[in-house]
C-alpha cells in the first residue's frame, strides 16, 4: 500500500478534502495511506512560529528550514527500504501531468511539502527535496490545494483504489489523447440524440468511433499533445 505524507500548516483543511469521495473511501478501506502533518508541531518557538523575514529584504515572510526539516525527518525515519520521493509544491516547478502521476505512483512513499507565505528557505529544498512540482502557471496562497490534486491523481492509480483497471485505461491522457464524448440515458435530450453508432451494439465500430472522436477533440483543443513526442504524428 502506498503512503503519502503531507507536511502543511493546515492539516485539517487537507485531510477534510482527502476524506471524501474515492480517495476517502480508499483510505478507510486500507487501500491508500494518506497522513497530514502540522509543520507547527515541530517548531521550537513558544508561539509555534515557522516563518521569518527573508535575508536581503523584501515583502512577506518566508518559511524557515528547521521546522520543516524536523517534520520531514520524523515522518520518514521509519521508511526502511521503501522507495521515497519528496516533492515541494511550487510555481517554479515542472508542470504536473498524467505521466508524472504514473511515475509518482511507482514509489512506496511520497512526501508532499506545502509552502506558504513567500515560500521556503532554499536550503531546505537543496537538502531534502527531490523534485519541485507546479499544477499550472498561476500562484496560490499555499501548497495545500496542489497537494490534494497530486494525491488524488496519484492515489487513484494505486492498486485497489478504483474498482477496475479499465476505469483509468480509457480516459483523457491514458493513451496520449483527450477522452472521447460519452452519453447516457435518455437517448434524446433537448432535441440532441445519442450518436447512432453507440446504440448499434457493434463493438468494433464503437471503438473506431471513439478513437476518431478522441483524435478530433485532441486536435481541436490540445494539438500540443500530437507533437512528434506525442502518441500521434
Q: Where are the domains of the chain?
A: 3-155, 170-226
- Give the model confidence (pLDDT) of 27-68 as tens digits: 999 999 999 999 999 999 999 999 999 999 888 999 999 999
Q: Is omega for the bond preceding 186 within 30 degrees of 0, making it cis? A: yes
C-alpha cell at 125: 529544498
Among 36, 35, 30, 33, which Cα is nearest to 2's? Answer: 33
pLDDT in tens, 202-220: 999 999 999 999 999 999 9
Specify the CATH superfamily of domain 170-226: tRNA(m1g37)methyltransferase, domain 2 (1.10.1270.20)
pTM, to two decimals: 0.88
**Distance in angstroms between the alpha carbons of the first and the last residue of the chain:** 38
CATH code assigned to 3-155: 3.40.1280.10
Per-residue pLDDT band for 168 (boundaries 50, 70, 90) equals low
pLDDT at site 167: 58
pLDDT tens digits, 78-116: 999 999 999 999 999 999 999 999 999 999 999 999 999
Amino acid at each position: 500500500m502506498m503512503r503519502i505524507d503531507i507536511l502543511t500548516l493546515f492539516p485539517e483543511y487537507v485531510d477534510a478534502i482527502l476524506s471524501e469521495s474515492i480517495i476517502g473511501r480508499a483510505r478507510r478501506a486500507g487501500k491508500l495511506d494518506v497522513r497530514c502533518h502540522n509543520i507547527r508541531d515541530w517548531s521550537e518557538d513558544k508561539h509555534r512560529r515557522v516563518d521569518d523575514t527573508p535575508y536581503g529584504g523584501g515583502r512577506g515572510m518566508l518559511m524557515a528550514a528547521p521546522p520543516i526539516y524536523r517534520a520531514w525527518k520524523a515522518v520518514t525515519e521509519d521508511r526502511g527500504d521503501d522507495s521515497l520521493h519528496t516533492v515541494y509544491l511550487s510555481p517554479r516547478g515542472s508542470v504536473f501531468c498524467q505521466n508524472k502521476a504514473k511515475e509518482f505512483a511507482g514509489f512506496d512513499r511520497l512526501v508532499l511539502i506545502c509552502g506558504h507565505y513567500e515560500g521556503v528557505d532554499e536550503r531546505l529544498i537543496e537538502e531534502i527535496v527531490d523534485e519541485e512540482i507546479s499544477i499550472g502557471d498561476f500562484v496560490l496562497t499555499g501548497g495545500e490545494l496542489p497537494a490534494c490534486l497530486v494525491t488524488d491523481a496519484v492515489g487513484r492509480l494505486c492498486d485497489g483504489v478504483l474498482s477496475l483497471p479499465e476505469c483509468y485505461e480509457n480516459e483523457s491522457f491514458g493513451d496520449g489523447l483527450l477522452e472521447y464524448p460519452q452519453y447516457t440515458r435518455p437517448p434524446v435530450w433537448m432535441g440532441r440524440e445519442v450518436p447512432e453508432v453507440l446504440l448499434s451494439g457493434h463493438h468494433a465500430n464503437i471503438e473506431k468511433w471513439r478513437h476518431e472522436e478522441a483524435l478530433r477533440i485532441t486536435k481541436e483543443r490540445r494539438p500540443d499533445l500530437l507533437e512528434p513526442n506525442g502518441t500521434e504524428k
